[in-house]
Amino acid sequence: MRWWAAGVFAALAVLQAVKWGAMGLAIQAPLVLVLILGLVVAGFREHLPFRNHALFVCAYGSAFLLLWAAGNPGVELVPGRTWLVTLGGVLALAGVVVWNLRGRQGFWWVFAFVVATGFGLFIAFASGPEGQTPWLQRFYMMLFKLPEEEWRVAATWMYWTRKCLHFTGYGMAAVATATLARKNGASLKRCFAMGIAWPLPIAMFDEYQQTLTPTRGGKWQDVLLDFSGMVCCLAVFIWIQKSKEKE
């Protein structure tokens, strides 16, 4: 049954890729990212609680491609059977995972799982034009009651807010991933490696996708900022884990 479900999700992901590839979209980056994340799952499979890793990767990949298309202006995507099948299947898969792990892993495992996987899906949608934050600049204009001619002040606040979110967002994703590994018996070194291996390809994908968007621009400095957030947050995570072991 699980292999049958994995085949359905794999076929759905292939059909989505063929459809959007035929529209001349730069879909190679999302496909490569899904492949890399699939290899990460395969490489750390002993520290993941899934009995069928192919089901998880294929379901995640189909949802990722769908959300990437939703945030891409070149895709004329309307709610329909593709949406219903993909999202319905992913919700069913999430329900099965939570049901099978009830009472075994606890609340924090489920929370970490949602953060680690949800972060990647959020980036899939927000890496395109839909991820712009002009509303944040307008918010600072209203918050500080700035006149229109002082929009640069609000833009500066927006800039630093986005940088802080880069640092903390990827740091949280790294810690959530490391928590999943730790709950399943991984050493601290393996936790650190897994905490980097999952979010780093997502960071590179995000900046690359932004270079394909006329109204945005990808920067390798942001990837370094994301990586710094991962390393710093994982360092705190490891320090806390070692303190608990000493106690």
Query: How much is the pLDDT for 131?
Result: 59
Measured distance CA(211)–CA(208) in Å, rounded: 5
Query: How much is the pLDDT for 202?
Result: 93
Query: How much is the pLDDT for 141?
Result: 73
Measured distance CA(57)–CA(85) in Å, rounded: 16
Residue 10: φ, ψ to 5°: -65, -45
Query: How much is the pLDDT for 79?
Result: 60
**Cα dihedral value 215, 219, 225, 231, nearest 10:** 120
- pLDDT by residue for the chain (247 residues), tens digit each? 466 667 777 777 777 777 777 777 778 888 888 888 888 888 887 777 666 677 778 778 888 888 888 787 777 666 666 666 667 767 766 666 666 565 556 677 778 888 988 899 888 888 876 656 665 666 667 776 777 767 677 677 777 778 888 899 999 999 999 998 888 888 999 999 999 999 999 999 988 888 877 666 667 888 999 999 999 999 999 999 998 877 7
Cβ–Cβ under 8 Å, residues 33 and 13: no
DSSP 51: S
Query: How much is the pLDDT for 200?
Result: 94
Sign, CA dihedral 48-51-53-58, equals negative
Residue 213 is encoded by which pair of tokens?
């968007």
Cα–chain center distance at 65:
12
Closest CA to 223 of 192, 196, 200: 200
